[in-house]
Chain A
Amino acid sequence: MKTKISPEQQKYVHNIRKKQILIRLYQLLLFVGFIILWEYTAKHGIINSFIFSCPSKLFATFLSMLKDGSLIHHIFITLYETLAGFAIVIIGSLLIATLFWWNETLSKVLEPYLVILNSLPKSALAPVLIVWLGSNKTTIIVCACSVAIFGSILNIYTGFVNVENDKLKLIKTLKGTRFQCLKLVVLPSNVPNIISVMKVNIGLCLVGVVIGEFLAAREGLGYLIIYGSQTFKMGNVLLSILILCVIAMFLYMILQKIEKKLSGYF
């Protein structure tokens, strides 16, 4: 569909583009400026480079850890634990929400307990989990799950219950069973909600993993941070935090891509 573009329209589009480019430019400038300022103040002793480290040191640490393979290993461990926890949370909460939808009595009975568990500060559970399950990867994955799963169940269940009643009536007028209501209306109409729940939970799982690694791990980025801070290797600490940022952003962006792909249908 090509229509003739009027000069006004061209000018309008041009202006919008220009604004977008400027915004990107400012963002980049801010970042570069921050790095330069950090490096400069550390070099000239305005801030204590032992405590605050500096970009050039960070970069050197990054390269050396990359070379001996330890960085990749720690990243891989943290990523693995996060994704495993995430998968369990999503699959688990879909199953449990479905069960709740199916059996209203069950959901009524359990809902207050879920609400309580969800409002609990989840980091309080981590030490308990370590005592119960020991210091290993399983514990950390369970820790990630415990942070995310209760809220996830509640949100997905709410989405299921709020499906337009008349849509279910439609399936019933076509002589559909309850299972068909679930398969043909409840699940598909909740895809957008499920994805937005996923977007929240991927971040929460990462938080859970880092908490777990703080307390119980011998590997992973959380371990690097806690170990680095105890041995005053601030380069390691800040580098790990930076990488966590990148991982969080990266995981979130994947889900956002999926959401955009699907958004046309809902």
Chain B
Amino acid sequence: MPFPLRKPSHILVYILLTCREIGCLRRFATWTFKAMWHLSASRLAGMAMAMQQSFTVYPFDPPGDVAALRAEIRAFLAQHEAKLGVPNCWVVGDPEFSRALGAAGFLGMILPQEVGGHARHPLERYVVIEELLAAGAPVGAHWIADRQTAPLILRYGSDEAKERYLPGICRGEIYTCIGLSEPGAGSDLAAVRTSARHTAEGWRISGQKIWTSGAHMSHVMLALVRSEEGSERNAGLSQFLIPMDAPGITIRPIIDMGGDHHFNEVFFDDVLLPEWAMVGTRGQGWAQATAELALERSGPERYLSSHVLMTALIDAAGPDPEPQIRGLIGELTAELWTLRQMSMSTAAKLAAGEDPMVEASMVKDLGNSFEQALPQRVQALVDCPSTRDDDLARLMRALLIAAPSFSLRGGTREIIRGIIARGLGLR
């Protein structure tokens, strides 16, 4: 074979691609290949810079027998079949279901055994939660505690906080809420004004949180508050665990547009907290809350919370649907499958100890758009007059109403795209 040996790279390719068939030379060729590579690396680097990549794929490789783990959680779900099929299921709470999940060892999976956890790998937890979401299980009661509060307490919390809350979270008995948003601090979270004042008896909390999901079902709130008087923006903030039954707390329901009581206003009137209620380092609340948001935004719930509508559509369509419906199902399948690959890769990156901020934002944005479009695409093709009352029609209507919240909660679409743009070097 003619071969222009003009550049080191060509010699490499030549050795790599043509010399390997000669058995006895193979080891030599590989060795030469590597040696040549080191010699020529610097020249090659100048010649052809490695191409930019929009998304680096991390292999999803949980330890242990994944099929067996899936079978276990599916068997659990089969026992609770009557409770499944809930749309937007991770905001729908069912303490009985949460306790059963805890008893079966599916909560606090990544926490150590000393605090009641199960010392499993984060990707094993991922397998379990994607099964729960795909089945539309009512996981809302414990969702926030298991997803973000428990890992935060484990990492930054005092010994008292760990003892008091973690075992109960693992049993599915203690629920938590997120105290970030305030009337004046929505997307601009650094505008938080709720304050913590240090006194001889402990910390005194005053102010207000709003849009607090599940505050009325929660035992404790993990709140971001201003602990340093006169501080500005993201400096001087700290995180606190606030027991929801502490004197001085008032919870007022806010009914959402679907008629459900899901989020709340929470008022703090000089609420007294013990020293151990502060989480992590005084004044480091912003960095900790950012770590918390990485857990909040990177999970499969950002594309799987409407999966039950897709299954209802497939059920209703039957094995041989008309061409238009078949086409829609095909498109939805492609999008779902792609999102799952992206989500698994993001989870794997987080599990590898790296920061998947940009990848998680991409999955959230794409997942939100997918889920918001889903009920509208079903509506456009399937005849569902408001009098129709089967599973498909009910789920479609419920999700049409729930959908606007998807690209608001956990960071709005615009904020999320801003994070992606920063990753591209534009900000």
A interacts with B: no
Query: A: which residues have CB within 8 A of B?
Result: none
